[in-house]
Amino acid sequence: MWAPRLSKWALVAMLVAVAIAFIGLTLARYDVIAKLSGFSAFLGGGLVAVVALLLAVLALLIGWKTGNPARPKALVALVVALAYVSFIATRPMAAGDAPSIHDVTTDIANPPQFEVLELREDNLAGVGTVENWQQIHAAAYGDLGPVTLPLPVAEATQQVALLAAAEGWDVVTTDLARGHVEATASVSYIRFYDDVVVRVTPAGDNSSRIDMRSVSRVGVGDLGVNARRVRSFLRKLTAS
């Protein structure tokens, strides 16, 4: 008697977990609620998924010898809940050794500055001072640096803007003469917004130096997203 009941409860708990996550993430995706609120709903659904997982395992164990006509329900709950919980558990591992910073650039001494998009007021959250941020950044992302394009500033800036648009970013300003591009990128289904600014300066011999900065609008750490964005963008830019 208990195995079918537990199987049913496991399936219900799994459906509730998925519903909580989907509704929360979707509302946050379209900015009906705050991004962090949507992410909290996702984590809350994960706790319900843990309950579903435990109920499913218990149902399968109890019904192993006595039989369980609702075994398929328990198996569905087990598979879905396990996938959900595993996804949450592996996110920190996916970030690797990424530090708890959310502002990444190719020039920590003189980062490109936003002029249209506003840098968040709490941009030093988690680090306290510019000096601390520079030390953490240098230790974690010492490989990040500017690249050079064999193009004058105006043409190089145009290439930057075109690639940003091709990446699906919302380009908010492009100044070809001054070598300045700003855009907003989004991450994951929830659409966490990150702001990007690219500075293009003369490098001699009719070439241009490209510096880039990517900053998350919310959160302290970024799980390495901004650094990956900078690396990927500059790699594609120099390959084009």
| 3-class SS of residue 156 | helix
pLDDT number for residue 63: 85
**pLDDT 10s digits, 149-192:** 999 999 999 999 999 999 999 999 999 999 999 999 998 899 99
Residue 55 in contact with residue 81, Cβ under 8 Å? no
Q: Which pLDDT value is given to residue 48?
A: 98
Quick: pLDDT tens for 95-153: 677 899 999 999 999 999 999 999 999 999 999 999 999 999 999 999 999 999 999 99
Alpha carbon distance 218, 46 (integer Å): 21
Asked if 215 and 195 touch (Cβ cutoff 8 Å), the reply is yes
Q: 197-222 burial string, b = 16+ CB within 10 Å, else e?
A: bbbbeebeeeebbbbbbbbbbbbebb
pLDDT value at position 204? Answer: 85
**Domain 103-239 belongs to what architecture?**
2-Layer Sandwich (3.30)
| Element at 173 (helix H, strand E) | strand 170-175
Nearest to 43 by CA among 9, 77, 20: 20
**Alpha carbons 230 and 22: distance in angstroms, whole number:** 30
Q: Which two tokens stand for residue 145?
A: 């640096």
More confident position, 211 or 191: 211
* Per-residue pLDDT tens digits for 61-86: 988 877 778 889 999 999 999 999 99
What pLDDT score was predicted for residue 25?
96
Per-residue pLDDT at 41: 96
Flag whether pLDDT at 94 surpasses 70. no
Q: State residue 95's pLDDT score.
A: 65
Helices 2-29 and 71-95 cross at an angle (nearest 10°) of 40
Q: Which pLDDT does position 90 carry in this prediction?
A: 86
The predicted structure's pLDDT at residue 65: 72
Domains in the chain: boundaries: 2-95, 103-239
Q: What is the mean pLDDT of residues 18-43?
A: 95
- Through-space distance between the first and last CA atoms of the chain, rounded to whole angstroms: 65
- 185 in Cβ contact with 196 (< 8 Å): yes
Burial class from Cβ neighbours inside 10 Å (0-12, 13-18, 19+) for residue 45 reads buried
